[in-house]
Chains A and B, each alone.
Chain A
Amino acid sequence: MKLDIVVCVKTNPDLQMIRIKNREPVLEAIPFRVGDLDKNAVEAAIQLRDAAGDGKVVVLAVAESNRKVRETVKEVLAMGADEAVLVVDPALEATDQAGVARALAAAIQKIGSCDLVLFGEGSTDNYTGQVGSRVAELLALPQISYARKITAGGAGVLVERSMDESIETLEAPLPAAVTVVSEINEPRIPSLMNIMKAGKKPVEEWGLADLGLEAGTVAPVRTILSNLAEEQDRKHIMFEGSAADQASAFVNALIKEGVLGR
């Protein structure tokens, strides 16, 4: 069986490194990484390709606002993806989920051979979960979100997915769009050898014009009025002494607060 898979990935600022200053996130000098769930999607794609025995994994990234996509995408090529396609265009600087989806959908059509489009369920930074659904609609693809297990066979995929209160098993014909959750797998850590080899894998770079898209088609349809850290007013009382002293002082504080002993 031959399985050609496109995995859509996003590069995000490394959230562990973000500092907050005057309620604003400080993004200078923060490294960029491919999203956590996107790596799960890449891992799933590699496993599906290998199980099928034939086909290729193309990693597709839209370079919205200078996200160092050329460097970061090497990480997933090193994991085992075969090629990368980057959509880079100044018009993408201010875009949003709707614009990214439009660019991804056009790029997937241009890539041509694609049995399966995989996404992380949401991006590591903003987690809107919009892009998978929007791309599926744009390409009129059957869609399954929150996959925790994917098996390809015959002309379709069998997907087990995790919903709020239930586990569903769904069947979809190919081509299809599937988003994955973290429990689907443990993304492999590429070896040094594979990291070096990744530099030689083909990386194609397209602008919006190559996709037949005008800049206006990726203009944002939502406005972010503000994006600030929440203010927290906490007491910061620390208890000292032995474990018994600390426990006792803590319980007394809870009684005084009215949390205990009501």
Chain B
Amino acid sequence: MADILVYSEKMDAALELASKAKEFAGALGLGLSAAILGVDGTGAADAGRLGEVGADRVFTVFDPALDGLAVDVTAEALAQVAREAGATVVLVASTRRGKELAPRLAQKLGAGCVTDVNSLVLDGATLVAGRYAFGGNTVAMETVDTGVKVFAVMPKTFEMGPAVAGAGLVVSPALALQPSTVKLVERRQKDGDAVNLEDAERIVGIGRGLGKREDVDLGRQLAAALGAELACTKGLSDFGWLAEDRVVGLSGAKTKPDLYLSVGISGQIQHTVGISSSKLIAAINTDKDAPIFQLADYGVVGDLYEVVPALIEKLNSI
């Protein structure tokens, strides 16, 4: 029997994929397999969780060659699991690691691949993947035409389902893996206060309308008054004014807050692609022709150095 195979080095993302894949597998008459890859048995306990959201089989591969999850060996391990499972569809999470992995895996399997997928639906018996194209100007809907299909799906595209099934069958295949010639020398956590913009309900986004680094504080005060997270454009992060994990847009977070208030942001598509799913978009900008206003529910044309303090005062008074 053919299967859908899901994998992510991030267990939450793997569970999201498995939850949705269960639905696809049911509709397509396929089985559902999941993979756990690691050096020692640390991840073994997660096999049960993958089974609970619907995986019929959980392939666990623990091998010293997977130390550091070098992409060449990870792709080889997953390719071998995919063959063992008879997978015709492979879903991996489009984290940085997953987006690096998916095309290498696809190449091994002679498969077509779509990365950064932000929607995946069944049209009859065909999986149709949506992703941003032309720098975020458009959404491309794509199908993969090879016998085996690989999709790298953005984390949080699907919701994690409830635990509905029993434990899956745990399979531990004996794989032949050679260690990578790429060696991990050091891994350190990124600095910064680990903000999660994807889950934020309110966001104040600041851009290059701010004249100097100290003015980031004005954004911070506005965010505090609104009970919002502070975010920025890539340009501002490139200046080093805010950490990379606060960037919204094509190369950063894709947000979906109740309110996105943009301050001093002109509205280049590379940024707005990360805000277009907001329930409400508001913008403050000096230029009445700035593209951000075409996206805005509420707009204020004005000097942010006058409007923002007035707004903070008003917010603090209610």
Q: Are B300 and A168 in contact (CB under 8 A)?
A: no
Q: Does B103 make an interface contact (CB < 8 A)?
A: yes
Q: Does B172 make an interface contact (CB < 8 A)?
A: no
Q: Are B302 and A134 in contact (CB under 8 A)?
A: no
Partner of A232, one of B146, B295, B302: B295
- Greatest chain B CB density within 10 A among A13, A162, A238 is at A238
Q: Does B232 make an interface contact (CB < 8 A)?
A: no
Q: Are B314 and A129 in contact (CB under 8 A)?
A: no
From A158, which residue of chain B is reached at the shortest CB distance? B185
Per-position binary interface string of chain A over residues 220-240, scored 1 when its CB falls under 8 Å from any chain B CB and 0 otherwise: 111111111110101111110
Q: Are A247 and B293 in contact (CB under 8 A)?
A: no
Q: Are A166 and B238 in contact (CB under 8 A)?
A: no
Q: Are A25 and B138 in contact (CB under 8 A)?
A: yes
Q: Are B181 and A239 in contact (CB under 8 A)?
A: no
Q: Are A130 and B103 in contact (CB under 8 A)?
A: yes
Residues of B within 8 A of A52 (CB): none
Q: Are B96 and A134 in contact (CB under 8 A)?
A: no
Per-position binary interface string of chain A over residues 83-111, scored 1 when its CB falls under 8 Å from any chain B CB and 0 otherwise: 00000000000001110010000000000
Q: Does B306 make an interface contact (CB < 8 A)?
A: yes
Q: Are B71 and A170 in contact (CB under 8 A)?
A: no
Partner of B128, one of A143, A225, A230: A225
Partner of A223, one of B135, B143, B276: B143
With A251-B311, A259-B280 known as contacts, the answer to whether A163 contacts B96 (CB < 8 A) is: yes
A247 to B225, CA, bound (A): 13
From A16, which residue of chain B is reached at the shortest CB distance? B268
Partner of B185, one of A166, A171, A247, A255: A171
- Greatest chain A CB density within 10 A among B97, B103, B143, B301 is at B103
Q: Does A128 make an interface contact (CB < 8 A)?
A: yes
With A223-B145, A230-B139, A244-B310 known as contacts, the answer to whether A169 contacts B104 (CB < 8 A) is: no
Q: Does A190 make an interface contact (CB < 8 A)?
A: no
Residues of B within 8 A of A225 (CB): 128, 141-143
Which bucket holds chain A's interface residue count? 35 or more
Question: Interface-forming stretch among A39-47, A55-63, A71-79, A119-127?
Answer: A119-127
From residue 225 to 267 of chain B, which have CB atoms closer than 8 A to chain A? 226, 238, 244, 250-251, 258-259
Partner of B115, one of A13, A129, A243: A129
With A224-B140, A251-B314 known as contacts, the answer to whether A134 contacts B134 (CB < 8 A) is: no
Residues of B within 8 A of A20 (CB): 137-138
Residues of A within 8 A of B258 (CB): 259
From B299, which residue of chain A is reached at the shortest CB distance? A238
- SS of A interface (majority): mixed
Partner of A125, one of B96, B103, B134, B146: B134
Q: Does B281 make an interface contact (CB < 8 A)?
A: yes
- SS of B interface (majority): mixed
Q: Are B318 and A221 in contact (CB under 8 A)?
A: no
With A130-B113, A165-B190, A237-B299 known as contacts, the answer to whether A247 contacts B103 (CB < 8 A) is: no
Partner of A182, one of B107, B186, B238, B318: B238
- Greatest chain A CB density within 10 A among B113, B294, B301 is at B113
Q: Does B159 make an interface contact (CB < 8 A)?
A: no
From B192, which residue of chain A is reached at the shortest CB distance? A165
From residue 130 to 152 of chain B, which have CB atoms closer than 8 A to chain A? 131-135, 137-146
Whole-angstrom distance between the Cβ of B48 and the nearest chain A Cβ: 25
A136 to B310, CA, bound (A): 55
Q: Does A145 make an interface contact (CB < 8 A)?
A: yes
Q: Does A11 make an interface contact (CB < 8 A)?
A: no
Q: Does A112 make an interface contact (CB < 8 A)?
A: no
With A126-B133, A169-B185, A261-B318 known as contacts, the answer to whether A227 contacts B128 (CB < 8 A) is: no
Q: Are B297 and A236 in contact (CB under 8 A)?
A: yes
A216 to B294, CA, bound (A): 44
Q: Are A260 and B145 in contact (CB under 8 A)?
A: no
Q: Are B181 and A173 in contact (CB under 8 A)?
A: yes
Partner of A137, one of B75, B143, B270: B75
Q: Are A254 and B259 in contact (CB under 8 A)?
A: yes
- Beyond A224-B140, A236-B297, A257-B280, 4 additional pairs, beta carbon < 8 A: A20-B138, A127-B132, A158-B185, A225-B143
- Which 9 pairs across A and B sit closest by C-beta, in order of nearness? A221-B112, A133-B103, A15-B135, A130-B103, A247-B310, A137-B107, A243-B306, A235-B297, A133-B104
